[in-house]
């Protein structure tokens, strides 16, 4: 990494660095070419239809049966949808907001808007109406795609504040017979019917639109993380998105025969990255679940070869395994423990770059086929070749456990603003404490203040709704994350710069690290470490209701609901054992001295978390200020007036007495 031996593109990047940097790393010196003939997503779709038209592009489960959609079908649906939009008055640079579950029609609407020279903008389907409003307004959307009545009702409830909206396109009209006369609403089928008619009148229009676009055009808007407020509209070009996908494939083998299971919200950049940036360039199959309630069963039926998910997905899977093993008989538990010991021994040697003996390799294979393979089969992971985790740093414990069970897990690092990925592990060079190395043609630098900055062709064009609030300076993206580079040239992500805690004695504490260690327990759903400028570390914990409820039933502990269960003395004893276990591996000044079990879960609907389940720490600190202050007094409990939300959406105030537990 000496400056004299640097590739020209790295030298040029470093010369343009906006401030002095402490250190840097860069990816492989490999050309990542975007063919001019296929430099947009719609052009790639057209290519795939011509070259592999009869192969399966998408699979959707309906009424328990998997339905096959070929690349020719895929193109035909997008073409009809695109021309239908134009027939309705869709114009160049128009924006369309997409809100709904993972369905082929979501993809059709996305690509149709692009093919009509417009801009799609996916938003999370579990947003409340009041959360959707600023997103639609800030994006300038004139069109909205809604999957069903639930999403349509949200939009209709705020329509008076959206005078620019021209039409609402609805896929599923079940239960919507009262809406038939609403002139704002139109069905997907009707849009496609109009498109088919326009296609007959102007047979070359679709291809003409495709040929008039290039990699420099805006491909989509995507939401930023939103940890500090309303998510921003990140503008990503086709070059941004396609470079990231093609660069990823330079270091991770992907083929047309892969199966990808799409179950995470399509509004998330990680899902768009896999479905569009990788799916369209490789031509692999994308599979959709039937209903959100059937995801686990559908995942097992698909048996994907590639899977991407945030830490909470992997944590939920492992929590299920941990609970079931705890309920198993003694013999099964002992066999499982022996297998895990073998798995941990092997992966820990791999992490250190040490040789694994022939005996241990054999023992590992035996453990895999006898113990782990049946478990992975039940989870739907038996065929996995590449498993990625991103959106936040996964727990080291979860990472080790998955690798020990035979899952080829890799940590990635990135942001929406860099099209999803800037760093990831390579096969044979994996470390649970790091995020691997940069993608090809990507430079990562650490500034003097410890901030991670990145330069890559995948860096965004800017924020559409906040043109003067730009995190990109001279092509360098400022992440707001604190990091360092280890001896192997891997990026180590410490935490958000704004979130790192400094105790009174000057000790620096990474909340994310401690929170991940706490969440390794199957009984802790969420955790927040507190607090800056204090004499010691404390925590607010959310119990994992399903697992703790099962534990309480097994131990004959009666309860009436989450609030009641969270305040049981026995549950506090259980959580204290979790905290003590975490404290064992911490230096004295970093140990968690007190905790409280919150009467409710942190909830995105209460704006305490983002839709990707990142904590909004500032809001939580303000909302639970009394609770936090009590943690730094001699109080053993606190009376708190809070709010709860019922399943029907209504809210009510409750007065709850929460215990404060000291951990000696």
What is the C-alpha to C-alpha distance for residues 122 and 257, in angstroms, rounded to an integer? 27
pLDDT digit string (tens) for 234-279? 999 999 999 999 999 999 999 999 999 999 999 999 999 999 999 9
**What percentage of residues in the chain have a pLDDT greater than 90?**
81
Report the pLDDT averaged over residues 334-359. Answer: 95
Give the C-alpha separation, 595 to 609, whole Å. Answer: 20
Per-residue pLDDT tens for 607-648?
898 877 889 999 999 999 999 999 999 999 999 998 877 655
This prediction's pTM: 0.87
Q: What is the mean pLDDT of residues 417-426?
A: 94
Class of domain 499-662: alpha beta
Q: What's the rounded Cα separation, in Å, for the pair 371 and 406? A: 11
Domain spanning 306-382+384-490: CATH superfamily: Luciferase; Domain 3 (2.30.38.10)
What tokens appear for 543 in the block?
Answer: 């119990």
Tell me the two tokens of residue 192. Answer: 């496609």
Confidence label for 4 from pLDDT (cuts 50, 70 and 90):
low
Q: CA-to-CA distance for 191 and 85, rounded, in angstroms? A: 7
- Segment 177-198, tens digit of pLDDT: 888 889 999 999 999 999 999 9
- Supply angle C-alpha 653, 657, 663, rounded to 5: 135
Residue 426 has pLDDT above 70, yes or no: yes
Supply the mean pLDDT for the chain: 93
Regarding predicted confidence, which is higher, 395 or 40?
40
Looking at the DSSP bridge assignments, the partners of residue 642 are: 654
451 dihedral zone (left: phi>0; alpha: psi -120 to 50; beta) = beta
Nearest residue to 529 (alpha-carbon basis) of 510, 542, 544: 510
Rounded CA-CA distance 34/30 in Å is: 13
CB 85 within 8 A of CB 180: no
> How do the domains of the chain map onto residue ranges?
41-240, 306-382+384-490, 499-662
Q: What is the pLDDT of residue 227?
A: 66
Which of 83, 117, 111 is closest to 218 using CA atoms?
117
Residue 2 pLDDT greater than 60, yes or no:
no
The CATH homologous superfamily to which domain 41-240 belongs is ANL, N-terminal domain (3.40.50.12780)
């Amino acid at each position: 990494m000496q400056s004299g031996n640097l590739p020209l593109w790295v030298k040029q990047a470093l010369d343009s660095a906006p401030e002095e940097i402490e250190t840097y790393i860069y990816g492989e010196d490999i050309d990542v070419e975007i063919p001019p003939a296929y430099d947009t997503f719609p052009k790639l779709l057209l290519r795939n239809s011509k070259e592999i038209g009869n192969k399966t592009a998408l699979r959707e489960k309906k009424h328990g049966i998997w339905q096959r959609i070929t690349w020719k079908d895929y193109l035909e649906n997008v073409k009809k949808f695109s021309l239908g939009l134009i027939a309705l008055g869709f114009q160049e640079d128009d924006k369309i907001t997409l809100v709904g579950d993972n369905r082929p029609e979501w993809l059709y609407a996305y690509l149709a808007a692009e093919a009509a020279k417009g801009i799609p903008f996916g938003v999370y389907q579990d947003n409340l109406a009041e959360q959707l409003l600023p997103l639609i307004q800030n994006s300038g959307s004139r069109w909205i795609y809604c999957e069903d009545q639930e999403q349509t009702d949200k939009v209709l409830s705020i329509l008076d504040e959206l005078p620019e909206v021209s039409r609402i396109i609805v896929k599923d009209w079940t239960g919507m017979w009262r809406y038939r006369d609403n002139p704002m609403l139109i069905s997907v089928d009707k849009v496609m019917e109009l498109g088919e008619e326009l296609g007959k009148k102007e047979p070359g229009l679709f291809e003409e639109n495709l040929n008039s676009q290039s990699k420099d055009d805006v491909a989509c808007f995507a939401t930023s993380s939103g940890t500090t407020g309303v998510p921003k509209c990140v503008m990503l070009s086709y070059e941004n998105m396609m470079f990231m996908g093609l660069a990823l494939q330079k270091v991770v083998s992907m083929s047309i025969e892969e199966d990808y299971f799409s179950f995470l919200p399509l509004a998330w950049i990680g899902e768009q990255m896999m479905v569009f940036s990788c799916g369209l360039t490789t031509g692999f199959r994308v599979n959709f679940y039937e209903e959100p309630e059937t995801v686990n069963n559908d995942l097992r039926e698909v048996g994907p070869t590639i899977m991407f998910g945030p830490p909470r997905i992997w944590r939920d899977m492992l929590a299920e395994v941990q609970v079931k093993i705890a309920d198993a008989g003694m013999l099964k538990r002992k066999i499982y423990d022996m297998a895990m010991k073998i798995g941990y021994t092997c992966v820990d040697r791999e992490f250190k770059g040490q040789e694994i003996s022939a005996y241990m390799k054999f023992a590992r294979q035996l453990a895999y086929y006898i113990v782990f393979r049946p478990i992975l089969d039940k989870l739907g992971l038996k065929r996995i070749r590449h498993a990625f985790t991103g959106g936040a740093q996964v727990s080291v414990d979860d990472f080790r456990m998955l690798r020990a069970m035979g899952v080829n897990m890799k940590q990635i690092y990135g942001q929406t603003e860099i099209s999803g990925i800037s760093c990831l592990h390579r096969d044979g060079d994996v470390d649970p404490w790091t995020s691997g190395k940069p993608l090809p043609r990507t430079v990562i630098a650490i500034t003097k203040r410890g901030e991670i900055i990145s330069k890559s062709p995948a860096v965004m064009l800017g924020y559409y709704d906040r043109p003067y609030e730009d995190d990109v300076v001279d092509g360098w993206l400022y992440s707001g994350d604190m990091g360092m580079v280890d001896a192997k040239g891997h990026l180590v992500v410490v935490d958000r710069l704004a979130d790192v805690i400094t105790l009174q004695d000057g000790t620096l504490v990474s909340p994310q690290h401690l929170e991940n260690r706490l969440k390794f327990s199957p009984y802790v759903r969420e955790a927040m470490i507190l607090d800056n400028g204090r004499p010691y570390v404390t925590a607010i914990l959310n119990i994992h209701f399903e697992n703790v409820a099962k534990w309480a039933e097994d131990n004959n502990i009666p309860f009436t609901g989450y609030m009641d269960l969270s305040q049981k003395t026995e549950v506090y004893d259980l959580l204290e054992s979790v905290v003590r276990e975490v404290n064992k591996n911490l230096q004295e000044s970093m140990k968690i001295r007190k905790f409280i079990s919150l009467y409710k879960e942190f909830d995105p609907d209460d704006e305490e978390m983002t839709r990707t389940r990142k904590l909004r720490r500032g809001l939580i600190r303000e909302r639970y200020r009394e609770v936090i202050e009590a943690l730094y007094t001699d109080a053993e409990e606190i009376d708190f007036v809070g709010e709860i939300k019922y399943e029907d959406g209504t809210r009510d105030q409750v007065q709850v007495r929460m215990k404060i537990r000291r951990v000696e």
